[in-house]
Amino acid sequence: MRIAVLGAGAWGTGLAISLSSHSSSSSSHEVVLWTRNAAHLAELDAHRVNKRYFPAFPLPESLRLTSSLCAAIENAELALVIVPVSGLRETLRGIVACRKTVPVIWGCKGFEAESAKLPHQVAKEEFGAVAPCGVLSGPSFAQEVAQGLPAALTLASHDERFARSIAAELHTSRRRVYTSADLVGVETGGAVKNVISIAAGISDGMGFGYNARAALITRGLAEITRLGIKLGGHMETFMGLTGAGDLILTCTGDLSRNRRVGLRLAAGEALPSILQELGHTAEGVHTAGEVLRLSRGMKVEMPITAAVCSIIHDGVPARLAVEALLNREPKTETY
């Protein structure tokens, strides 16, 4: 299959390497990787490695590179939009401007700033019914995907036939791809788990132990589920790969950027310096405020999210915010 991967960050590069590598599937795909930055393209071309994200992983010889969006999708049978949520709308507009009809799948996780819209809502506004579209999500660290290690993902689309067809193309023995029609549930799980991961990092950074982490993940899943169902998602989605699965991975894995933010907040570091040194997008930081505003407007209780927001937006010391969370009135456990 001819695939354009739009976005040469960590996840985009990892997917491009995986999809174009003969070791990851019985027959590799024809893949072109797009970066909007001409200087980044020159660096990738010269060294055949993404120094910023994957210095230890050479780009496959078959992987083509470009900084022209229209050139990237010119012959593509599928476009994978792997940019942060903040860049999704602009990238979709760029695709439409190229006047090329191509199915689109996005891999971003979060709510759009200010509008608090999920990616599929942004896509509907910008892409309409031009071509089939959907979201690819699930527990997957980019580095492990690039290494060809086993992973399981979910491809959600309102077009069931499209989802099954693309899932079959992307599915391998090392990269299992399931399908779903629950875009709201899949996207909500992917967005809010990043916020909970920051809280998990704070808890770990304070030395609260595994018991506290397990409790936080469990109650974090309850928050995700409450909001997701209110938005129209399905309960079973939150118990699956894009809910519990993605949450567990990002709250426990050392490769989680959002967890690393929490660890450093617990150490008393200032958020701006953390983000500058991190060098990668930590979506939970940008998503937390939108999630909290949305939950309050819909009268959904999300105490962990509120605690994270008080730390990253209001400057409340991490220890004080966590103590306030722990000292909440006991109640019956519910979702």
8 A C-beta contact, residue 96 and residue 124: no
**What DSSP line would sit under 25-40, residue for residue?**
SSS--EEEEE-S-HHH
Closest to 335 measured CA to CA, from 225, 239, 242, 195: 225
**Side chain identity at residue 202, one-letter code:** I
Residues β-bridged to residue 80:
5, 105
Q: Which two tokens stand for residue 31?
A: 């893949």
Active site residue 117: no
Q: Which of 178, 137, 133, 121 is nearest to 158 (CA)?
A: 133
Question: At residue 69, what is the residue type?
Answer: L
Q: How far is CA 119 from the centre of its chain?
A: 11
At position 268, the amino acid (one-letter code) is: G
Q: List the one residue out of 248, 220, 225, 247 whose CA is nearest residue 235.
A: 225
Say which of 51, 109, 193, 299 is annotated catalytic.
193
Q: Where in the sequence numbering do the catalytic residues fall? A: 193
